[in-house]
C-alpha cells in the first residue's frame, strides 16, 4: 500500500465528495489515505507548510503555490450562484457605502478565495484606507456581525442559506458580480497534489477522487451521515442544498470551462497585486502520454 496524506474541509460538499474514500466504498488503487478534516484556512496553512501530499485548498492559495502543486481535475468547487456574500447587520446598505468612513470587514481567512474576491472588487476602498480587513473563523462571522463587532462580513459555506434567519442583510453577492464581469463560473477551491508525488501516483489519486465524487452523486442518501457528522448546520435539507450548489459537472471534471475560469481568476489576482507578476499560472494536472 502507498501511503498518501489527504486533507479536506469539513464542508458538506467535501464530505459528500470524499465519503466513498472515507468509508472505503470504492477501489482505492493501492493507496492508504491518511485523511484529516480541517477548516479551509487550516488547509491553506498546512499546504504552505508542506504538511499534506494532497489537500483541498482555496484557489487563492493555489495561485500562490503553483511552483509546488498542481490542481487535480476532480474534486473542485466552482459554479454559478456559489459565491460568498457580503453581509451587514445594518439594513439597506449598498456596495458604494463600503467605501465611506473607515469600516471593518470580517473575512474567513487570509488565503481564502472569498478574501481574494473582496480584495479584487474593493481594491480601491482598501487602497484608500476605507476598509480594514479582519480574519475570522467562517462560522464566527455571522455571530460577530450580530453582536456589532464589525461593519461587514464575507460569508461562505452554510451561511449562504441561513443569513436571513440571523437577521442580517446582504449588501452584495460577490459571486454574482464575478459572473456578471467574467461570464464564467466562480472557482472557489480545488484539490492540490504535491508535484513530488510523481505522475503515476497523481494519476491514481486523481482516479480515486473522481470515482468518489461520482459515487456520491450516484448514492446521495448514503453520504448524509458523514456530512451531518462534520457540518455546522445539521438540517438534512440544508446539507443537500449545499451539495446541489457546490457539487456539479465541474466537480467531476473541470474541463475547459473550469480551466478557463481558473485562468481568469489568476489574471485578475495578478492585476490587483494579490499574486506576484512572476508567478506561474494555476496548472491543472493532466496525464503524461
pLDDT tens for 192-251 read: 999 999 999 999 999 999 999 999 999 999 999 999 988 766 678 888 888 988 899 999
Whether 132 contacts 104, CB under 8 Å? yes
Indicate the SS3 state at residue 100.
coil
DSSP 8-state symbol, 75:
S
Give pLDDT tens digits along the chain (289 positions): 899 999 999 989 999 999 999 999 999 999 999 999 998 889 989 999 999 999 999 998 999 999 999 999 999 999 898 889 999 888 888 888 887 778 889 998 888 889 999 999 999 889 888 898 999 888 888 888 888 888 899 988 767 777 777 778 899 999 999 999 999 999 999 999 999 999 999 999 999 999 999 999 999 999 999 999 887 666 788 888 889 888 999 999 999 999 999 999 988 998 888 888 888 889 999 876 5
pLDDT of residue 158: 67
| Domain 85-182 of CATH type 3.40.50.740 | no
The domains of the chain are located at 2-79+186-271, 85-182
pLDDT of residue 232: 62
Domain 2-79+186-271: top CATH class: alpha beta
| Active-site annotation holder among 60, 157, 219, 242 | 157
* pTM check: above 0.95: no
Assess whether the region 2-79+186-271 and the region 85-182 belong to the same CATH fold: yes
Which residues face 33 on adjacent strands? Answer: 4
pLDDT of residue 102: 81
Instruction: Copy the grid coordinates of residue 166.
Output: 440571523
Which residues face 154 on adjacent strands? Answer: 86
Our measurement of the distance from residue 281's CA atom to the centroid of its chain's CA atoms, rounded to an integer in Å, reads 18
Instruction: Copy the grid coordinates of residue 111.
Output: 488565503
Catalytic annotation present for 60: no
Query: Phi and psi dihedrals of 81, rounded to 5?
Result: 75, 25
Closest CA to 62 of 263, 271, 273: 263
pLDDT of residue 15: 96
Q: What angle do CA 25, 31, 35 make, to 5 degrees?
A: 75
Beta strands in 167-207 (DSSP E): 169-173, 186-194
What CA–CA distance (Å, rounded) separates 146 from 132? 18
Instruction: Copy the grid coordinates of residue 158.
Output: 452554510
Amino acid at each position: 500500500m502507498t501511503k498518501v496524506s489527504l486533507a479536506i474541509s469539513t464542508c458538506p460538499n467535501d464530505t459528500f465528495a470524499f465519503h466513498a474514500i472515507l468509508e472505503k466504498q470504492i477501489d482505492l488503487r493501492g493507496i492508504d489515505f491518511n485523511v484529516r478534516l480541517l477548516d479551509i484556512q487550516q488547509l491553506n496553512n498546512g499546504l504552505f507548510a508542506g504538511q499534506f501530499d494532497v489537500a483541498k485548498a482555496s484557489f487563492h492559495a493555489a495561485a500562490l503555490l503553483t511552483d509546488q502543486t498542481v490542481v487535480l481535475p476532480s474534486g473542485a468547487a466552482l459554479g454559478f450562484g456559489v459565491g460568498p456574500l457580503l453581509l451587514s447587520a445594518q439594513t439597506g446598505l449598498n456596495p458604494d457605502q463600503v467605501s465611506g468612513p473607515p469600516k471593518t470587514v470580517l473575512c474567513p481567512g487570509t488565503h481564502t478565495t472569498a478574501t481574494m474576491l473582496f480584495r479584487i472588487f474593493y481594491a480601491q476602498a482598501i487602497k484608500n484606507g476605507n476598509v480594514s480587513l479582519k480574519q475570522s473563523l467562517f462560522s464566527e462571522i455571522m455571530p460577530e456581525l450580530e453582536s456589532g463587532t464589525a461593519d461587514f462580513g464575507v460569508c461562505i459555506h452554510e451561511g449562504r442559506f441561513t443569513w436571513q434567519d440571523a437577521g442580517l442583510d446582504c449588501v452584495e453577492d460577490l459571486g454574482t458580480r464575478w459572473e456578471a464581469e467574467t461570464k464564467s463560473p466562480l472557482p472557489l477551491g480545488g484539490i492540490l497534489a504535491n508535484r513530488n508525488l510523481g505522475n503515476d501516483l497523481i494519476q491514481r489519486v486523481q482516479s480515486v477522487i473522481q470515482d468518489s465524487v461520482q459515487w456520491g452523486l450516484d448514492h446521495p442518501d448514503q453520504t448524509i451521515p458523514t456530512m451531518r457528522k462534520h457540518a455546522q448546520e445539521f438540517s438534512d435539507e440544508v446539507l443537500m442544498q449545499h451539495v446541489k450548489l457546490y457539487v456539479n459537472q465541474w466537480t467531476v471534471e473541470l474541463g475547459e470551462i473550469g480551466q478557463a475560469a481558473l485562468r481568469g481568476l489568476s489574471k485578475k489576482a495578478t492585476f490587483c497585486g494579490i499574486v506576484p507578476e512572476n508567478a506561474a499560472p494555476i496548472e491543472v494536472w493532466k496525464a503524461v502520454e
